[in-house]
């Protein structure tokens, strides 16, 4: 049975937990399309099957615990 999940975006895809999630998703029989959201200055390397979006991540309210994030993506030149 294939997963109903077709697209996944992961913040922290190169980190300890995120990289394991990516690894498990790619190992599935029908992996979803995976987008890795990473910092503009990140030099992390990702599997070629991932779409990588670089940008600046801003907390909604910097004085409270992060529950929501907004992303300002880098636009192609």
In this predicted model, which residue has the larger pLDDT, 26 or 65? Answer: 26
User: DSSP H helical segments within 1-77, as ranges?
Assistant: 16-27
Q: What is the pLDDT of residue 40?
A: 84
What does the pLDDT look like over 30-72, one tens digit per residue?
Answer: 999 999 988 888 899 999 999 998 887 766 666 766 555 566 6
pTM of the predicted model as reported, rounded to 2 decimal places:
0.72
55 backbone dihedrals φ, ψ, rounded to 5°? -175, -170
Q: What is the pLDDT of residue 56?
A: 75
> How many other CB atoms are there within 10 angstroms of residue 10's CB atom?
19
Asked if residues 38 and 13 have their Cβ atoms less than 8 Å apart, the reply is: yes
- Parallel, antiparallel or unpaired: strands 33-39 and 51-59: parallel
């Amino acid at each position: 049975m294939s997963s109903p999940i077709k697209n996944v975006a992961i913040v922290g895809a190169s980190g300890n937990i995120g990289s394991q999630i990516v690894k498990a998703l790619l190992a599935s029989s029908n992996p979803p399309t995976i987008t890795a959201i990473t910092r503009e200055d990140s030099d992390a390397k990702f599997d070629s099957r991932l779409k990588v979006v670089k940008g600046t991540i801003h907390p909604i309210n910097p004085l409270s615990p992060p529950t929501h994030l907004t992303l300002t993506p880098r636009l192609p030149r």
